[in-house]
Chains A and B, each alone.
Chain A
Amino acid sequence: QLHLVESGGGVVQPGRSLRLSCAASESTFNTYPIHWFRQDPGKGLEWVAIISRDGSERYYGDSVKGRFTVSRDYSMNAVYLEMHSLRPEDTAVYFCARGAVAADDYWGQGTLVTVSS
């Protein structure tokens, strides 16, 4: 069974950058689009970004467009989210998830990003 593990979260000051990683337990991960979602503590879920299977297409939510970049490394079975110009409202738990045809079926446990001075 596929396992996804996010890492790279932490406390960062407004305006600074952070890179999140999503590492998979098996290489089948590389044959699927991968999403990033986030969730404010105690609140709802928001879609952040997606990278296509071959990495040629990347799309972002309006709230992060121009500040966040998603990429993938097939040799590492990993996807990354580079976050720049961070704002307090970016504070959330960030999840990666596999975008299967039928639904977003496998999710990692998440990594907490706190943007605070």
Chain B
Amino acid sequence: DIVMTQSPESLAVSLGERAAINCRSSQTVLSRSNKKNYLAWYQQKPGQPPKLLIYWASARESGVPDRFSGSGSGTDFTLTISSLQAEDVAVYYCQQYYTTARTFGQGTKVEIK
């Protein structure tokens, strides 16, 4: 299985400041055939299912605010929240869908400082 490793485990950021979460995969998730990275980012709030934010590593899902952005390729990826809002308090997960057996990072808890 592809192992996904996120850092940091938790992050406290002031309102309006930038938050960045890193994700590394144990092997590449970049497809040679279509040049796409099979990497997604999800946001999960207590008592709710994961919500898809970013797919193909950098494409924003419809309705997701543009303060959320994804970058990276191959094995190293980053989710950036450009200006943290109170409603962004949540746990964020990266997920690879390069293989049928999806795997997730352990999650990063984002809080307000």
Contact = CB atoms under 8 A, between A and B. Distances in A.
Interface of A: 35, 37, 44-47, 50, 59, 61, 95, 97, 102-105, 107-110
B48 interface: yes
A110 B49 contact: yes
Interface in B61-113: 61, 93, 95, 97, 100-107
B30 interface: no
B48 A104 contact: no
A66 B100 CA distance: 18
5 contacts: A37-B102, A102-B59, A104-B97, A105-B55, A108-B49
A79 to B, nearest CB: 15
A103 B40 contact: yes
Contacts of B93: 44-45
Contact of A105 (B48, B61, B101, B102): B61
Interface range for B: 20 to 34
B60 to A, nearest CB: 11
Contacts of A109: 48-49
Most chain B beta-carbon neighbours within 10 Å: one of A50, A95, A102, A103 = A103
B100 A103 contact: no
Contacts of A108: 49
B56 A107 contact: no
B101 A104 contact: no
Contacts of B101: 47, 59, 61
Nearest to B93: A45
B11 interface: no
A30 to B, nearest CB: 19
